[in-house]
Structure 1
């Protein structure tokens, strides 16, 4: 319990400190001459501006999780590196849960062509950027070996990110709701091997800079498969957002994740391939500590 409290305190100290530091360096972020030309859609912003919901197989863990991850995003017009942090707190023995995640630091370097396409102010910012604080809540609706596991997610993305002038974060709130479902295709009696299908569907909404249509309403979806053998877990899925404006608001991603669990530690390796309006390929390495 003492270790849990220390982890929580450390997480929020880092969160507060990075926010204060980045607030100081946010001067000059206004870029008023550029803001009215920005296109508020995934295609024309940085890789962390419009996060896609995770597939969770319809179930929640019963352990606390603290994660830190290094990520590298690339396409021909931008190279981005960031440090990401996440804290998951189970509630009522896995019947519900609360999660907070945050890009602590992001460094980017765009080409002049990308800057012009996005109507951004510059190719980079010497002090880097920081992301939006995202708060998610989860509620288990059904847990059934015979039928399926079903979970509801409700998430709020705050407007705490900076560098709007460089089209990195939107400086506007967003929220999404989805139903997450998973079902075993095969499970060995000793629980050391299983194969599982999973999917989600829901609603995604974000604010824009338009005068008439102040928000974009979108459908979110994902479908994939998960397999586990002893301490190894491999997930693969396709996920996307389908906005109604068709202005770069229909990103699609192929996502893979390999986790290796050793005691209370999980080592995580991810790769995401962007398609359609998702321009970036992403490579990441993470460490998760469970309590």
Structure 2
């Protein structure tokens, strides 16, 4: 039953593209607005492929890893609300985590299953969108990551390696929601726990890595970025409180250096957990996001 549920969710996240609003047939308004004439490069070449010119889920900062794997396989269903004066967005996403090989290796699969947006005329024009009224729905990208535990339980901090890939499964390029091209990232994360969970433990963590995505610039076909994150967990009994700062820094300097603050509150129960997250964009990702998640733990240990 659990395996069947995982398969269904994988199909739901990755294979299903669904139907979504497409660009209007008459785009003469776009041609006039941006001065496009016959013989000019196609409209896709006008778009700027960076997080500052797309929706909140197009090129998000990868979630911060914390130096160690957990024993419990999990399925997480999340509802998110992205607050932005010119681009309020809501979405439903899913996440699957499966450890194996005696908890030395794990895989992650996640993505946005459904997104609803309604951006302003100013945002539409700035992003070269061809959705005239700025309203519609979209299906997001599918991500797949492999995690390898390098060091754990020694004097040296716990060390975890991650290699992640972003598919081009997301649609609605014409609405500047998803970039319709692949990306990948790799990083090392480190952590060290001080104290115990019964009386309260602190676990500082840090992450450093590399992030790269494909662009539409013929002279620079990809943008390469330094990926980073730093924060601290506070753990007591079945509660987790976490705060971190994360981001990446692209080399083109076209709103491609997003920085955000992350706050996380989680309560674990016997076979389930509840999670509340808040993300506050500081630069080049100008959203304030609230996420609420329900988590199924597929085995009791964690």
Give your verdict on TM over 0.5: yes
1:124 maps to 2:131:
no
Q: Which shifted more, 245-254 or 44-53?
A: 44-53
> Any residues of structure 2 matched to 1:211-226 within 5 Å, and which?
211-226=218-233
Contact 1:55 1:198 in 2 (8 A): no
Report the TM-score when normalising by structure 1: 0.92
Shift, 1:285, TM fit = 0.2
Q: In the aligned structure 2, how far is the partner of 1:180 from the partner of 1:75? A: 31
Matched residue of 1:36: which SS? Answer: helix
Q: In the aligned structure 1, how far is the partner of 2:217 from the partner of 2:159? A: 36
Shift, 1:57, TM fit = 1.6
> Any residues of structure 2 matched to 1:77-116 within 5 Å, and which?
77-116=86-125
Q: Per-residue CA shift, 1:210-229, capped at 9, x if unaligned? A: 11110000001000000011
Indicate how the Cα distance of structure 1 residues 178 and 284 shifts in structure 2: closer, same or farther if over 3 A, else same. same
> Any residues of structure 2 matched to 1:1-291 within 5 Å, and which?
3-15=1-13, 18-19=16-17, 21-22=18-19, 25=20, 28=23, 34-122=43-131, 123-126=133-136, 128-184=137-193, 186-188=194-196, 191=198, 193-291=200-298
Matched residue of 2:216: which SS? Answer: coil
Indicate how the Cα distance of structure 1 residues 13 and 174 shifts in structure 2: closer, same or farther if over 3 A, else same. closer
Q: In the aligned structure 2, how far is the partner of 1:57 from the partner of 1:15? A: 25
Q: In the aligned structure 2, how far is the partner of 1:281 from the partner of 1:231? A: 27
Q: Looking at CA atoms only, which structure, 1 or 2, has the larger radius of gyration?
A: 2
Q: Per-residue CA shift, 1:59-85, capped at 9, x if unaligned? A: 011111101000000211110000000
Any gaps of 5 or more consecutive residues in structure 1? none
Root-mean-square deviation over aligned CA pairs: 1.9
Q: Per-residue CA shift, 1:123-178, capped at 9, x if unaligned? A: 4344x101111000000110134221000000000001000011100000000000
Shift, 1:26, TM fit = 6.4
Shift, 1:36, TM fit = 1.5
